[in-house]
Structure 1
Amino acid sequence: MGCLSRIGCAVVLVAGAAAGYWLYGDRLPSVLSRAASGAADKVTDAAVRTSERLDSQEGARIAAEEEARRRAAREARDKELGWVTVNADNPVVPKGNPLAPLRRKSGPAYVSLTAAQVAGFLAPLLKQLPPSASTAQLALDGDQLLVRTSVSLSDFTGQTAIGSVLGKALVGEDTLFLAGPLEPVRPGLAQFQIRELRLKGIDVPTRVIPGIVRSLRAAAGQNAKGERAARPAVDSADSAGRGADGVALNALPVPLPSTVSDVRVVNGKLTLYRATSPATRKQ
């Protein structure tokens, strides 16, 4: 009886399966397909999440390594340039007078000096920077003078030129970076022509620089005491883009000693050429 009972159960199961297949067999492929697809999707999703997590971790690591390399490159570059700190009220005084050879009758036609030797000579530039720039660093690179200083961004409040680039969030402090050549204008005057200006990590467009320089010079003139003559008008420009004083609209004036007729940055040094006027020969 036990055997017959087991055979009977098997027959019932087979019959039930056959009936089920007859009733729902047409749906079975799609059901199996959906089940397989769902399982595959779950496996794919898990793989994607794992890949994204690994990519995120790898991306963060790569970004950190790139930033470390950039920082190391900047530090190496800064060391190579040899930045010199200058204080407008207490400029660096080099040992001896680097311009003394130009005063001698039999002296050389020019002298080439390092940033450390001419830091005091360039100190007047600081008086034309924003009021918060009490100190600055200078360097000579190729044919350019580099200037960087920490400034209060509030010094630029109300300047439409800088506002058009940086917006209205002028709060806190940041580094102001200037770069460009030194060029003669006339006897007794040179200009620092600003071709690069960076603030808040943003390179200011070239066409905006003259407006910022104009504001700097105007502020310097207002802050100067009894030095109105040293601040020529900068509101008008001739066809060559120079102000009434002959200084370019994107430049800051640099007074020259009477012994110097010309000045250039050449090969990372400041070259000052001897004046040949009668006044100079009498010195």
Structure 2
Amino acid sequence: MKTQLFATFATALALTGVFASSAQAAGFSFKTNYTADLAGDDMWKGNIWLESIEFSGQTVSEFSIVKDAKIVSNDLWTGGNSGAASADMGDEATVGLKQEELTEAGAVAALGNLNLNSIIDTEDSGNFAIDVMFDKAVDNILVWERGKNSKLDVQAIDSKGNLIGNLINLPKSNNWTDAGYSIDTKEISGAQKVASIGLSLADFGLSANDSIFGYRMMSQGSSYNGPDWKILGTTDATPASVPEPTSVIGLGLVAGSFVASRRRQKSK
């Protein structure tokens, strides 16, 4: 929802859409399998752990999670419901972060775990562009959106931090798959249903010879209706390239793997 302004949104657009064709993604549906720490009326307020997903006749239980983030732009938070993106978490969740003036570390704390009740929350008319980077190449991304009433733009990032492929304009999330659960976070007064969508290399106009190490996530004002989102990836077993430790300036990528396998990541 809210944070310090790192760059104008016009700059963010100059770094994205001007140099990439825009595409309406077909995407794919998947089933979300989860376990909740709490039960009864409090179920959607606590930690909701992603266990696995099912799509195309296969079950995936290993995921790449966000390890680094760079805030390209984010509307200034001046109090109340101002600004754009912020960190949000379940009313009674223990993993995640509540942070109005979003920092890059805060974005990682919100996204870098398997708690589906730990998200990035966006104000209804907010503009932001945030680069989220995985420690390993991913061949699919999984996006969840709370409220089922918002849009997002997404573009892939390669091992050197370059934007690649099509800029995808995701449809409003009421056209996505129902994820089968709800969340009740600190920013809202009751539980809201969650939608999900998956995107593959082909959706970005990329081939199996390309590799994705991150994504630029964007909201462009009131027509996007404040997307409240979570992102994870499925690991590319044969990436085309591996980033050097210094190849992505400012993102602090390091060599090695950090794939979550049905583990409950604890954020400090």
Question: TM-score, with normalisation over the residues of structure 1?
Answer: 0.24
Larger Rg: 1
Question: TM-score, with normalisation over the residues of structure 2?
Answer: 0.25
> Could you say which structure has the greater relative contact order, defined with CA pairs below 8 angstroms and 6 or more residues apart?
2
Richer in strand (by share): 2
